[in-house]
Amino acid sequence: MKQKIAILGAGISGISLAYYLDKEKYEVTVFEKSTSIGGCVKSKTVNEYAFELGPNTVQLKHQEVLELINKVAKDDLIYPSALAKNRYILKKNKFVKAPMSPLSLFGNPLISFSSILKLLKEFSIKPGRLDEQTSVKEVVINHFGEEIYHNLFVPFCTGIYASNPENMSVKYGFPILWEAHQQTGSIIKHFKNNRRSPELNKIIAFKNGFQSFLEKLSKDINIQYNQEIKSISKQGKVYQLKFKSNDELLEFDKVISCLPAYTLANTNSSLSFLHKVNYSPVYVWQIAIQKNSMQKPQGFGVLTRAMDKHHFLGIIFNSDLFPGKSPKDKHLMTVMIGGERDKSLLELDEEEIKQTVFSELKTLFTIKGDVEFEHSHLWKNAIPQFHLNHESIIQEVKKFEELNNDFYISGNYIDGVAIPDRIMASLNLAKKINA
């Protein structure tokens, strides 16, 4: 008789985990509180515009992720245009190309000659142990200096996490920096010695959005929708799950949570420590404007420096990346607002938020026309923040799992927010369970 497994949450973690679990050994059921899969992976098509409310592109990173995509959705893969190599950072209202190669460092307004010398000295840094509460800021400044930290790394960190690297644990926010410092010393040398193949460095998306990939992945998975978990308890060797839709208790041999920390924290008093995980809010605003009514550089997009105090974190130039996803005569852009940097802005009325941000955009892009299309979405709990206390949270997760056999906790607040990281975490957990 097959063991019964309940997976809570039908986001990328839950769906990929269900896909990898051995169907010969287990009867797997995924429970999802909404009416669709995806979690923060949401793809939309409105009129002639196709866009994402969550991740817009993904860097493959892992061979296993490439193999999964080739198996499930190879024909739907698309790649950004050649313009994607142009990435910008705003410095005092000027679009400056982010350096993407050693030669592009020279003469770049973001990097002085003294910072280049600092980079050369970085090769001589010796390996050393880092404390679990070491911040991203401390490591980056130690290796690269203040200028590179403020002009390059803060915008980069904001673009990924909508976060403040001063309060972020390097071990959990940027584990590759943690590993590099302790194993190699020089971060540059570590990256050089551990280069990925060109195939795994590629940036990808899907013709019909990332949600379409998840739909293909979930084709043979039993998903129960409109099932919001109320409580989880253990009775003997089985787990009893109660959902808000009814009072019936469902019993399972194993339970795997792929829920946000704040949701799982409410299901069992022993999990209340998960309320300590903080999430950053992000307001995502898609706008389209006539191309001849504005001036903008061509490229992937632009990120902002904290010191310049812009009311937006960054902008993706969707129509440059994927011209087929919007009308040819329109610039479609995704503006990201809020995050840890500007939470107070998101407390305003929605129209006030838009007016505040658009007044900046009009100046930056010399906009003379009106917005011809718009769509917005507020993610109140968009991205988990790996604050300096995160090590203690992870230790409490491990202790809970040790005391509760066959209860597993997964999710982006455990081991990475990127889609490839979520797939790899699911693959590794499935291997552990299948063994």
CA distance to 158, 183, 308, 394, per residue, from 144 (Å): 18, 18, 21, 29
Report the CATH number that the domain containing residue 109 is assigned in CATH. 1.10.3110.10
Regarding whether 254 and 176 lie in a shared domain, the answer is: no
Q: Indicate whether 349 belongs to any domain.
A: no
Please check the confidence at residue 3 and state whether its pLDDT lies above 90.
Answer: yes
Mean pLDDT along residues 366-393: 96
User: What percentage of the chain's residues is helix, strand, coil (to nearest 5)?
Assistant: 40, 25, 35
Burial of 319 (0-12, 13-18, 19+ CB in 10 A): buried
* Tally of helices (H runs) and strands (E runs) in the chain: 16, 20
pLDDT band for position 17 (cuts 50, 70, 90): very high
Q: Give per-residue pLDDT as tens, 279-330.
A: 999 999 999 999 999 999 999 999 999 999 999 999 999 999 999 999 999 9
Please check the confidence at residue 216 and state whether its pLDDT lies above 90.
Answer: yes
Strand partners, 250: 241
Regarding whether 189 and 215 lie in a shared domain, the answer is: no
DSSP letter string over 365-433? TT--S---EEEEEEEEEEEEE-BTTHHHHHHHHHHHHHHSTTEEE-SHHHH-SSHHHHHHHHHHHHHHH
Please check the confidence at residue 434 and state whether its pLDDT lies above 90.
Answer: yes
108: left (phi > 0), else alpha (psi -120 to 50), else beta? beta
Mean pLDDT along residues 139-147: 97
pLDDT of residue 102: 86
- Cβ atoms of residues 316 and 300 within 8 Å: yes
Instruction: Indicate the residue among 149, 164, 195 that finishes a domain.
Output: 195
Q: Indicate whether 105 belongs to any domain.
A: yes
Please tell me the distance from the alpha carbon of residue 258 to that of residue 408, in angstroms, as a whole number: 9
pLDDT band for position 1 (cuts 50, 70, 90): confident
Please tell me the distance from the alpha carbon of residue 292 to that of residue 396, in angstroms, as a whole number: 56
Regarding whether 173 and 119 lie in a shared domain, the answer is: yes
Domains in the chain, number:
2
Regarding whether 217 and 146 lie in a shared domain, the answer is: no
pTM value is: 0.95
Q: Give per-residue pLDDT as tens, 344-370.
A: 999 999 999 999 999 999 999 999 989
pLDDT of residue 16: 98
- Cβ atoms of residues 89 and 304 within 8 Å: yes
Q: Indicate whether 14 belongs to any domain.
A: yes
Please tell me the distance from the alpha carbon of residue 352 to that of residue 223, in angstroms, as a whole number: 39
Instruction: Indicate the residue among 195, 219, 243 that finishes a domain.
Output: 195
Regarding whether 176 and 251 lie in a shared domain, the answer is: no
Mean pLDDT along residues 387-393: 97
Q: Indicate whether 239 belongs to any domain.
A: yes
Please tell me the distance from the alpha carbon of residue 107 to that of residue 172, in angstroms, as a whole number: 34
Please tell me the distance from the alpha carbon of residue 90 to that of residue 301, in angstroms, as a whole number: 10
Please tell me the distance from the alpha carbon of residue 72 to that of residue 90, in angstroms, as a whole number: 39
Mean pLDDT along residues 370-384: 96
pLDDT of residue 306: 96
Q: Indicate whether 263 belongs to any domain.
A: no
Instruction: Indicate the residue among 163, 195, 227 that finishes a domain.
Output: 195
Bridge pairing between strands 301-304 and 87-91: parallel
Q: For the sheet containing 77-78, what is the strand order? A: 58-59, 203-206, 77-78
pLDDT band for position 136 (cuts 50, 70, 90): very high
Regarding whether 109 and 145 lie in a shared domain, the answer is: yes
211: which residues sit within 8 A by CB, 6+ positions away? 36, 37, 38, 41, 42, 43
Please tell me the distance from the alpha carbon of residue 347 to that of residue 187, in angstroms, as a whole number: 39
pLDDT of residue 247: 83
Regarding whether 165 and 119 lie in a shared domain, the answer is: yes
pLDDT of residue 364: 97
Q: Give per-residue pLDDT as tens, 41-72.
A: 999 999 999 999 999 999 999 999 999 999 99
Mean pLDDT over the full length of the chain:
96
Please tell me the distance from the alpha carbon of residue 144 to that of residue 82, in angstroms, as a whole number: 29
356 C-beta neighbours (distance < 10 Å), count:
15
231: which residues sit within 8 A by CB, 6+ positions away? 241, 242, 267, 268
- DSSP class of residue 187 equals H
Regarding whether 232 and 176 lie in a shared domain, the answer is: no
pLDDT of residue 301: 98
pLDDT of residue 101: 87
Please tell me the distance from the alpha carbon of residue 191 to that of residue 346, in angstroms, as a whole number: 37
pLDDT of residue 288: 98
Q: Indicate whether 376 belongs to any domain.
A: no
Q: Find, among 429, 435, 409, the residue nearest to 17 by Cα.
A: 429
Regarding whether 161 and 122 lie in a shared domain, the answer is: yes
Q: Indicate whether 318 belongs to any domain.
A: no
Please tell me the distance from the alpha carbon of residue 233 to that of residue 99, in angstroms, as a whole number: 53
pLDDT of residue 433: 97
Report the CATH number that the domain containing residue 8 is assigned in CATH. 3.50.50.60
pLDDT of residue 405: 95
pLDDT of residue 37: 96
Regarding whether 112 and 176 lie in a shared domain, the answer is: yes
pLDDT of residue 246: 87
Q: Give per-residue pLDDT as tens, 73-101.
A: 999 999 999 999 999 999 999 999 999 98
pLDDT of residue 103: 87
**Which range marks the domain in which residue 104 is found?**
99-195
Regarding whether 186 and 106 lie in a shared domain, the answer is: yes
Regarding whether 19 and 103 lie in a shared domain, the answer is: no
Q: Indicate whether 373 belongs to any domain.
A: no
